[in-house]
Amino acid sequence: MTCVTVNGTWLYYEDHGTGRPLVFLHGWGTSGRVWDAQAADLMADHRVITVDWRGCGCSDRPVTGYTIAEITHDILNFLDALALDEPVLIGSSIAGAFTIEAALAAPDKIGAIVPVDAGIHHFSGTQNAMDKLLADLRADRAGTLADLVPQWYRPGVGAPMIDWTIRQLLDSTFLIDQLLVDQATYDPRSHLGRVRVPTTFLHGELDTEVPLGIPRECASLIPDARLTVIEGAGHMSQQDQAERFNQALREALR
- Given a cut of 80, whether residue 1 has pLDDT beyond it is no
- Given a cut of 90, whether residue 145 has pLDDT beyond it is yes
What contacts 237, CB < 8 A, 6 or more positions away? 116, 117, 202, 203, 204, 207, 230, 245
Model confidence, pTM:
0.97
Residue 235, class by beta-carbon neighbours within 10 Å (0-12 exposed, 13-18 middle, 19+ buried)? Answer: buried
pLDDT in tens, 191-223: 999 999 999 999 999 999 999 999 999 999 999
**Percent of the chain scored above 90 by pLDDT?**
99
